[in-house]
């Protein structure tokens, strides 16, 4: 019997489009001799539904994956999917391809835990920690992993006294600095600020996406990325970096600039590659990660490393850094990488079934 594979994509998130692009690539690569695939589209309003009829691989497009929900109430739409296709008998696994809030933050993971279905990627706690930059930084500090100077501000603090927040940020962080929504990815809502006017604008924009923001001191240097995979014994890939001339690697730079090139492995001083890989695994384990994550570092001109952030669901198209790093590390092809992640999901689920819930 084939394993039923439920692929979740879209989502109530500003990263909705990124998720759709990921889904097209992943669905193209699924081995249909092993998996019975069920695409599940989540609208921008959080409604769950399935595209009409089976979709042949040569018909896979973003437009084809978008569906119209039967119900206008999220609870009824989710219930329809859970009691319908996800209640079918036989082996099953869920592949969440949801970026940002309402998908990458532990919410969907909690639902899947309740219905006792194996799913790819991080669990509830690690998903929530890695998406929330403010909480992640506390975990990194506790683990003794170096990071740049930062401060966290909440919306209530800002609306009460804007001038005080500006003054505190300037005194503690200075310029240039970066303002970030605490729980978003793909560089959405992030601003590089060089003076008070830009800081004011950046804070207002960040608070339009989140009720909590992080302001960080800029590290002048390179951004080095590492792919990590596994459960109890995670492994780190060779480090990689994008070669570009952008002062700020924002959303448009990441997804629209056709001149971007990958350098894998990154050209690093002797011994630094192994150090970065070890730190990536340490950070992964400190957050309780399982399945996969991409760990991003800054490397300044003096060779000092700063951990920037952990992305629990990194970009996963076939030209994204995460899968390409594995292909250049050990030859793992894109489709084989998906198989590995599904295997880790099933193994984690089976391991949890051995737990005792009665005295």
What residues are paired with 212 via a beta bridge?
Answer: 154
Give the model's pLDDT for residue 279.
97
The answer to pTM > 0.85 is: yes
Domain boundaries, the chain: 3-120, 149-217, 220-343
- Determine the Cα–Cα distance for residues 283 and 163; give it in Å rounded to an integer: 35
- Helix residue ranges, H only, 208-271: 251-256
| Per-residue pLDDT at 248 exceeds 70 | no
Task: State pLDDT tens for residues 232-243.
Answer: 999 999 999 998
| Per-residue pLDDT at 184 exceeds 60 | yes
As given in the structure block, the two tokens for residue 245 are: 């001339």
Q: Compute CA 210 distance to the chain's CA centroid, rounded to the nearest angstrom.
A: 17
Among residues of the chain, what percentage have pLDDT more than 90? 85
Strands (E), 75-156: 92-96, 150-154
Give the model's pLDDT for residue 358.
86
Report the pLDDT averaged over residues 296-322.
93
From the options 3.40.30.10, 3.40.190.10, 3.40.50.20, 3.90.1150.10, give the CATH code of 3-120: 3.40.50.20
Sign of CA dihedral 320, 216, 14, 123: positive
- CA 186-190-196 angle, to 5 degrees, is 170
- Determine the Cα–Cα distance for residues 288 and 139; give it in Å rounded to an integer: 10
The answer for 319, left when phi > 0, alpha when psi is -120 to 50, beta otherwise, is: alpha
Sign of CA dihedral 85, 86, 91, 95: positive
Is the fold of 149-217 the same as that of 220-343? no
| Per-residue pLDDT at 278 exceeds 60 | yes
Q: Which fold has domain 220-343?
A: D-amino Acid Aminotransferase; Chain A, domain 1 (3.30.470)
| Per-residue pLDDT at 255 exceeds 90 | no
| CATH 3.20.20.370 describes domain 149-217 | no
């Amino acid at each position: 019997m084939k394993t039923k594979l439920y692929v979740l994509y879209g989502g109530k998130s500003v990263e909705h489009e990124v998720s759709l692009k990921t889904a097209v690539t992943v669905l193209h690569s699924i081995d249909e001799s092993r998996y019975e695939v069920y695409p599940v589209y989540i609208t921008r309003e959080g409604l769950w539904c399935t595209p009409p009829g089976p979709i042949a691989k040569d018909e896979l497009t973003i437009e084809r994956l978008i569906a119209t929900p039967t119900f206008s109430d999220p609870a009824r739409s989710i219930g329809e999917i859970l009691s319908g296709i996800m209640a079918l008998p036989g082996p099953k696994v869920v592949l969440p391809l949801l970026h940002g809030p309402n998908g990458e933050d532990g919410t969907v993971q909690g639902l899947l835990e309740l219905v006792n279905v194996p799913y790819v990627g991080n669990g509830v706690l690690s998903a929530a920690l890695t998406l929330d930059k403010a909480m992640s930084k506390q975990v990194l500090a506790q683990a003794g992993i170096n990071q740049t100077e930062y401060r966290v501000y909440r919306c209530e603090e800002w609306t009460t006294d804007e001038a005080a927040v500006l003054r505190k940020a300037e005194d503690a962080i200075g310029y240039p600095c970066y303002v970030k929504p605490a729980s978003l990815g793909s560089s959405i809502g992030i601003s590089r600020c060089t003076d008070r006017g830009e800081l004011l604008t950046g804070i207002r924009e960040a608070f339009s996406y989140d009720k909590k923001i992080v302001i960080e001191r800029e590290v002048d240097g390179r951004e080095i990325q590492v792919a990590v995979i596994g459960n109890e014994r995670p492994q780190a890939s060779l480090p990689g970096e994008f070669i570009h001339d952008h002062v700020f690697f924002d959303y448009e730079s990441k997804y629209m600039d056709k001149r971007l090139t990958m350098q894998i492995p990154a050209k690093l001083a002797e011994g630094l590659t192994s150090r970065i890989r070890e730190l990536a695994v340490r950070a992964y384990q400190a957050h309780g990660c399982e399945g996969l994550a991409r760990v991003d570092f800054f490397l300044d001109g003096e060779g000092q490393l700063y951990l920037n952030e952990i992305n629990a669901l990194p970009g996963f198209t076939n030209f994204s850094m995460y899968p390409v790093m594995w292909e250049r590390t050990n030859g793992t092809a894109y489709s084989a990488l998906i198989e590995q992640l599904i295997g880790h999901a099933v193994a984690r689920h089976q391991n949890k079934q051995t737990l005792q819930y009665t005295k």
